[in-house]
Structure 1
């Protein structure tokens, strides 16, 4: 959510809006904003009289707005927080009263809606009224290729120095579970001493991601055609499928070899332009350059076809009774020997 930093700053400065309607697919940004309004705006004494938390499944817009029209018992403001607001019914009558309140909110009330995992229907008049009042805040999911940058930015905010591959390693292994990533980074903030660099060893010891047997290292081994390393990593990853989901592995390798193809098609252009097109840090361009040398365009394209083939096999099509460990080993073999594999027409 782009406005999050400004919202947090304003809450800290006690400059709040009468309504906040947070909605969207990404729950993490909504949780951060709501937590700040819940814990950092009123004093502990004020909360006892002037803060109310309700849940969407237990109430209605009509009841919530009746509460919102009341005045604070002590102090200048009251805060009403509606968690799980996506469970509220928004029929015609509820839509009408929410629209009316959005057009004329009570100044002494801070009304907060946490409408998670989906957007508010923009066709509703209430949504249009909230948007016009600048009370509607969309929390969008971070695209996969932007996740390492988000992690790197969070590390910067926390003053955590990292080795070059750490943001990508965390992104590859934890996916876009921003809450989990944020929790781990806050833990690292405590563990990593001043001047120390967050590297693979610290990640392995405290987050549980092996610096030797993970998708990032498999990707590196395949990218450099290091067959011994690739088969060794595949063997150990196959023994622990719970921590190495096959579908995540395929997605990561698909992105990597798609970038190899991008490098092939943009050869001769500035590295910054190539990195921008790939959505990676320029630091990693040298890795793609090496892979592009080992996997000419014809072979890199063939790898993409192999990955699609194994996506189908992973779903049980054409791979009867094959375990994930067997699929991983066969996949690695075919990629390493892609120049010798005859593709089906």
Structure 2
């Protein structure tokens, strides 16, 4: 949510809007904003009288709006927070009632809706009314290619200094579960000493991601055709399938070799342009350059076909009685020897 930092700053400064309607597919940003309004706006002694928290499945828009039209007791503001607002039924009558309130909100009320996991229908009049008064805030899922940058930015906010590749390593293994990522970074912040740099050892000890045997290192070994390292990592990952999901590994390698292909098609353009199109830090372009040299376009496109083949095998098609450990070893062999692999027509 692009406006999140401004929202948090305004809450801290007690400069709030009469209505906040948070909606969208990413619950994390909604949770952060609502938590700030719930815990950091009213003083503790005011909350007992002037703060109401309810849930969509337990109430209705009519009931919420009736509360919103009341005046605070022994204070200037009251806060009404509706969590899980996606469970509210928005009938035609309730939609009109909400529109009327949006057109004339009570200044002493801060009305907050946390509408998670989906967007409001942009065609509805009430959505347009909320948008018109700047009360509508969209929380969108972060694209996988932008996740490492988001993690790096969060580390900066927490004043955590990191070794190279750490944000990518966390992105690969924790996925786009922003709440989990934020929790893990919070724990690491408490563990790190002043000036200490977050590196692979910390990640391995406190999150459980091996600094040597992980999908990021496998990607690196395959990208440089380091045969011994690739087989060693594949063997370890095969013995620990719970910590190294086959699907996640395939997705990571697919993204990497897709970027190798993109790099090959953009040779001659500026590094900044290439990095921007690939959605990676320019720091990593040297790795893609090396992989592009070792895997000519014909071979890198063949790797993509191999990964698709193993995606099907991982789902049980064409790989009868093969364990994930066996699949990983065969996959690594085929990628390393891609110049010798005969593709099915």
Structure 1 position 321, deviation (Å): 2.1
Structure 1 position 31, deviation (Å): 0.2
| Whole-angstrom CA distance in 2 between matches of 1:214 and 1:98 | 51
Structure 1 position 269, deviation (Å): 2.0
| Whole-angstrom CA distance in 1 between matches of 2:73 and 2:35 | 23
In the TM superposition, what whole-angstrom CA distance separates every residue of 1:112-161 from its partner, at most 9, and x where no partner exists? 00000111111221111111111000000000000000001111111111
SS at match of 1:23: strand
| Whole-angstrom CA distance in 1 between matches of 2:246 and 2:89 | 39
| Whole-angstrom CA distance in 2 between matches of 1:57 and 1:324 | 42
* Residue in structure 1 matched with residue 272 of structure 2 by the alignment: 272
Aligned residues: 345
In the TM superposition, what whole-angstrom CA distance separates every residue of 1:158-204 from its partner, at most 9, and x where no partner exists? 11111110010000010000001111111121122222111111111
* Residue in structure 2 matched with residue 57 of structure 1 by the alignment: 57
* Residue in structure 1 matched with residue 28 of structure 2 by the alignment: 28
| Whole-angstrom CA distance in 2 between matches of 1:8 and 1:75 | 22
> Residues 31-180 of structure 1: matches in 2 within 5 Å?
31-180=31-180
| Whole-angstrom CA distance in 2 between matches of 1:297 and 1:180 | 37
1:5 corresponds to 2:5: yes
| Whole-angstrom CA distance in 2 between matches of 1:95 and 1:323 | 54
* Residue in structure 1 matched with residue 291 of structure 2 by the alignment: 291
* Residue in structure 2 matched with residue 249 of structure 1 by the alignment: 249
* Residue in structure 2 matched with residue 317 of structure 1 by the alignment: 317
| Whole-angstrom CA distance in 2 between matches of 1:267 and 1:336 | 23
**Runs of 4+ that moved beyond 2 A:** none
What's the Cα RMSD here? 0.9
In the TM superposition, what whole-angstrom CA distance separates every residue of 1:86-118 from its partner, at most 9, and x where no partner exists? 111111111111111111111100000000011
1:332 corresponds to 2:332: yes
SS at match of 1:119: coil
SS at match of 1:280: coil
| Whole-angstrom CA distance in 1 between matches of 2:132 and 2:308 | 46
* Worse-matched range after superposition: 258-267 or 130-139: 258-267
SS at match of 1:111: strand
Q: Which runs of 5+ in 2 are unaligned?
A: none
| Whole-angstrom CA distance in 2 between matches of 1:322 and 1:120 | 45
| Whole-angstrom CA distance in 2 between matches of 1:261 and 1:236 | 28
* Residue in structure 2 matched with residue 199 of structure 1 by the alignment: 199
Q: Which runs of 5+ in 1 are unaligned?
A: none
Structure 1 position 276, deviation (Å): 1.0
SS at match of 1:20: strand
SS at match of 2:169: helix
1:307 corresponds to 2:300: no
* Worse-matched range after superposition: 13-22 or 272-281: 272-281
Structure 1 position 323, deviation (Å): 1.7
| Whole-angstrom CA distance in 2 between matches of 1:133 and 1:103 | 8
* Worse-matched range after superposition: 322-331 or 8-17: 322-331
| Whole-angstrom CA distance in 1 between matches of 2:124 and 2:61 | 14
TM-score, normalisation: structure 1: 0.98
SS at match of 1:156: helix
| Whole-angstrom CA distance in 1 between matches of 2:92 and 2:329 | 57
* Worse-matched range after superposition: 206-215 or 28-37: 206-215
* Worse-matched range after superposition: 30-39 or 232-241: 232-241
Structure 1 position 268, deviation (Å): 2.3
TM-score, normalisation: structure 2: 0.98
| Whole-angstrom CA distance in 2 between matches of 1:99 and 1:237 | 55
* Worse-matched range after superposition: 193-202 or 33-42: 193-202
In the TM superposition, what whole-angstrom CA distance separates every residue of 1:58-98 from its partner, at most 9, and x where no partner exists? 01111111110110011000000000001111111111111
